């Protein structure tokens, strides 16, 4: 395929390799081999072919450096930038799986007959490769109870349930979205204006009163574009494929008012588009009466969660509303079999054993939501719910921060526009890039963006950064520094001044300007952090031997609580406020602070006199009658200051409570040393079981 004015003729793979070398000057040969799944010999052959074509165009050859990298001169990059003769050429290599997903979307949304010729022209592959890809697509569809059909008159089409075909669109987009050129793929497959769809989603956020997470926003835009293309095609046979199921939701009502009438053909189209919005995860939102059933289920879950994990939620109403923003879309996703697109669940890092304890608790309390969805929640959804519950949404704040939304405007042709878009995405992980667009389209919808990176000045109120299409690394770092400072994403100047002052205090002389320059480059770079998983503490980490007491006399419950808490007060674990609070809570007949029938676990939140982590453990040979009527032999006052690490200890304590024989042995013990020994022995058993999970 022809790439440039000078007549550079390269196949798709060689173009992809050349593009990668230009984009990432420090790539090693080994990294290129791994990225494109090539042998050393295959890569050498491709480099040789590229160099031949570069020489034919009077351009410098690619050079191998002593460090093992392959470099391209600025002259080569500028030559490609200046190319305006062939703006529609595709240059990114597509894998076999990616080509299958592109074909699926192409067949589902094309408004005319498709032949094999159309397929291999779209993918820029040989006829034999296209035929093989179609066989792969056929197998893929069969697994989803759909059939790939072909006739001389109608070309290729997919036969089967329309709802399955709609779900297939979402699945294909979910698979394609992980590729760098996903935006361009969607743009090439349809004439639907992506900018107009982005504007529509922004209007929905404003009218419904919600904000979508960044990943969900992009996924929602791509899904809408392809579903609208499906609506506009002549391939929908069943116009009542999704009818009268969610017409009572606020989303349906607002969409009915806002949507472009050219985008829909039936009420089913509106309802399905509503489902796309309902299943897209939100960061915050206002909710309607139709959400009452989900909110009621969440209230039950939170109460059960507190009982099972001893994590006290301080503001139930606020916490439950935050959970509603996350779990409402999850219910719709599970109910209608859609894909999770909120945060990358691989971001969620919870130490292995702690995750298992939390996940086990969530699986036991999630039945109210599963009843509404009519299905079991899959593991990826469970993992996200574990994250929300486990940190009382403390960690979710970082994932729930709305990033600035940006557009890229480039007048140097599609190839360079795509390069520029991908480079900026890599340079600014703190920013959500929505589209690479034309000057005219951007100016029509400029209010949907917070900033724009452009090669020409624009008429817009959005913050604009005029840049070269391909910038040297030094210029890129300066741009990053400027943008992050402008948007307050990193307070660069303050950080530089503070660090410089510290260095000056500890050195006799320092090149302040040079130091600031080096620090500026370092601070501008996204720092990777290694997440070191800590071993989750066992019960004995909270229960010191001096916290154990053995009482052999008749005791009233108030005195029993004082006796059990006294070691914690003397050790500075809790203060009097803690004791007063648990006495007040225990007096309530609605108190649920028990494990099994013979252990009480009085506890409260950290703002009621908890100073450190610690558990008491007092054994009463003569049972203590509690206000609830229960006869208690063991009182374990629990003080949890760090609510993220106590799950294993609670699991081990629960294991003790469920072992009637051990409880009887502990009550019969003659000294506290024996009791501690019994607890340690059980702790080891529980730890072994946890490691087997």
- Please identify which residue in the block is written with the tokens 């489902």: 275
Q: Is the confidence at residue 156, as pLDDT, over 90?
A: yes
> For residues 428 and 524, what is the distance between their CA atoms, to the nearest angstrom?
10
CATH architecture of 282-399: Orthogonal Bundle (1.10)
> For residues 621 and 201, what is the distance between their CA atoms, to the nearest angstrom?
66
Reported as a single tens digit per residue, the pLDDT across 65-92 is: 777 788 887 677 666 654 444 434 444 5
Task: Label residue 191 exposed, middle or buried (CB < 10 Å: 0-12, 13-18, 19+).
Answer: exposed
Q: Is 227 left (phi over 0), alpha (psi -120 to 50) or beta?
A: alpha
pLDDT of res. 169 = 92
For the chain, first and last CA: distance in Å? 54
Q: How does the average pLDDT of the chain come out, rounded?
A: 79
CATH of domain 12-81: 1.10.10.10
Structure tokens at 560: 């029993």
Spell out a b/e string for 270-281, using b for 16 or more CB atoms within 10 Å of the CB, else e: bbbbbbbbbbbb
Reported as a single tens digit per residue, the pLDDT across 301-322 is: 888 887 777 777 767 787 887 7
Reported as a single tens digit per residue, the pLDDT across 2-43 is: 343 334 456 667 777 887 787 676 678 888 888 888 888 888
CA contacts within 13 A on the Cβ side of 191: 5
Q: Cβ atoms within 10 A of the Cβ of 135, count? A: 11
Maximum average pLDDT range among 199-208, 416-425, 480-489, 640-649: 199-208
Comparison of pLDDT for 444 and 115, the residue scoring more: 115
Comparison of pLDDT for 204 and 481, the residue scoring more: 204
pLDDT of res. 503 = 65
Query: Which of 205, 134, 141, 142 has its CA nearest to residue 169?
Result: 141
* pLDDT band, very low/low/confident/very high, at 256 (cuts 50, 70, 90): very high
Dihedral sign from CA coordinates of 123, 125, 126, 130: negative
Alpha carbon separation from 420 to 33, 444, 457 (Å, rounded): 24, 21, 16
Q: Is the confidence at residue 287, as pLDDT, over 70?
A: no
Supply the pTM of this predicted model: 0.57
CB 539 within 8 A of CB 555: no
Query: Which of 1, 6, 13, 15 has its CA nearest to residue 72?
Result: 15
Q: Is the confidence at residue 227, as pLDDT, over 90?
A: yes
Query: Which of 61, 55, 81, 71 has its CA nearest to residue 410?
Result: 81
* Domain positions in the chain: 12-81, 96-278, 282-399, 403-470, 539-692
pLDDT of res. 29 = 85
pLDDT of res. 579 = 94
CATH architecture of 403-470: 3-Layer(aba) Sandwich (3.40)
**Lowest mean pLDDT, pick from 80-84, 607-611, 652-656:** 80-84
**Lowest mean pLDDT, pick from 202-206, 267-271, 387-391:** 387-391
Q: Is the confidence at residue 494, as pLDDT, over 60?
A: no
**Residues in contact with 38: Cβ distance below 8 Å, sequence separation at least 6, in sequence order:** 32, 46
- Please identify which residue in the block is written with the tokens 């993992």: 383
Strand, helix or coil at 20?
helix
Query: Which of 195, 172, 110, 141 has its CA nearest to residue 447?
Result: 195
**Residues in contact with 654: Cβ distance below 8 Å, sequence separation at least 6, in sequence order:** 595
CATH homologous superfamily of 539-692: Mannitol-specific EII; Chain A (3.40.930.10)
């Amino acid at each position: 395929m022809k790439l440039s004015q000078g007549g550079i003729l390269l196949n798709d793979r060689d173009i992809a390799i050349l593009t990668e070398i230009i984009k990432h000057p420090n790539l090693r040969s080994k990294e290129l081999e791994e990225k494109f799944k090539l042998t050393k010999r295959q890569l050498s052959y491709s480099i040789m072919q590229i160099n031949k074509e570069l020489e034919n165009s009077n351009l410098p050859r690619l050079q191998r450096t002593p460090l093992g990298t392959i470099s391209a001169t600025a002259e080569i990059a500028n030559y490609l930038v200046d190319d305006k003769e062939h703006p529609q050429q595709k240059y990114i290599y597509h894998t076999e799986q990616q080509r299958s997903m592109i074909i699926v979307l192409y067949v589902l949304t094309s408004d005319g007959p498709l032949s094999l010729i159309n397929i291999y022209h779209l993918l820029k592959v040989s006829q034999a490769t296209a035929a093989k890809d179609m066989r792969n697509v056929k197998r893929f569809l069969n697994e989803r109870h759909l059939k790939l059909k072909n006739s001389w008159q109608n070309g290729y089409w997919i036969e089967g349930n329309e709802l399955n075909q709609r779900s297939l669109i979402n699945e294909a987009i979910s698979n394609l979205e992980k590729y760098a050129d996903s935006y361009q793929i969607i743009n090439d497959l349809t004439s639907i204006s992506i900018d107009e769809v982005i504007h529509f989603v922004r209007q929905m956020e404003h009218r419904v009163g919600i904000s979508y997470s960044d990943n969900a926003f992009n996924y929602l835009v791509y899904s809408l574009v392809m579903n609208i293309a499906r609506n506009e095609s002549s391939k929908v046979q069943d116009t009542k494929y999704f009818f009268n199921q969610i017409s009572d939701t606020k989303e349906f009502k607002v969409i009915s008012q806002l949507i472009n009438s050219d985008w829909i053909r039936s009420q089913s189209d509106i309802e399905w588009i509503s489902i796309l919005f309902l299943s897209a995860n939100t960061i915050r939102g206002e909710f309607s009466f139709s959400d009452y059933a989900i909110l009621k289920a969440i209230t039950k879950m939170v109460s059960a969660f507190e009982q099972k994990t001893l994590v006290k939620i301080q503001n139930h109403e606020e916490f439950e509303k935050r959970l509603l923003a996350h779990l409402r879309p999850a219910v719709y996703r599970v109910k209608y079999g859609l894909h999770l697109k909120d945060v990358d669940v691989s971001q969620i890092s919870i130490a292995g054993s702690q995750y298992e304890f939390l996940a086990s608790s969530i699986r036991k309390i999630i039945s109210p939501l599963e009843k509404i969805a009519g299905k079991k929640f899959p593991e990826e959804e469970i993992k996200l719910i574990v994250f929300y519950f486990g940190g009382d949404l403390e960690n979710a704040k970082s994932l729930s921060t709305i990033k600035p939304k940006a557009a890229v405007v480039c007048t140097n042709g599609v190839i360079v526009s795509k390069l520029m878009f991908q480079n900026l995405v890599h340079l600014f992980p703190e920013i959500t890039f929505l589209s690479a667009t034309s000057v005219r389209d951007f100016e029509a919808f400029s209010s949907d963006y917070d900033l724009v990176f452009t090669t020409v000045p624009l008429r817009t109120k959005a913050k604009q950064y005029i840049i070269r299409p391909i910038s040297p690394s030094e210029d890129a770092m300066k741009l990053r520094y400027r943008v992050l400072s402008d948007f307050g994403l990193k307070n660069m100047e303050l950080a530089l001044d503070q660090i410089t002052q510290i260095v000056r205090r500890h050195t006799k002389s320092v090149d302040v300007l040079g130091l600031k320059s080096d620090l500026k480059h370092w601070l501008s770079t996204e720092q990777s952090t290694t997440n070191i998983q800590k071993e989750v503490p066992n019960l004995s980490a909270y229960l010191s031997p001096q916290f154990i007491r053995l009482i052999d006399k008749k005791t009233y419950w108030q005195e029993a609580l004082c006796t059990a808490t006294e070691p914690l007060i003397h050790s500075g674990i809790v203060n009097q406020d803690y004791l007063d609070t648990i006495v007040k809570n225990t007096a309530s007949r609605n108190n649920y602070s028990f494990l099994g029938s013979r252990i009480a676990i009085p506890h409260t939140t950290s703002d009621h006199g908890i100073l450190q982590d610690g558990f008491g453990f007092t054994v009463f040979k003569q049972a203590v009658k509690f206000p609830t009527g229960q006869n208690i032999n063991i009182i374990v006052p629990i003080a949890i200051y760090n609510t993220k690490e106590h799950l294993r200890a609670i699991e081990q304590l629960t294991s003790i409570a469920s072992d009637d024989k051990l409880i009887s042995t502990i009550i019969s013990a003659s000294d506290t040393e024996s009791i501690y020994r019994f607890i340690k022995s059980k702790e080891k058993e529980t730890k072994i079981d946890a490691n087997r999970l």
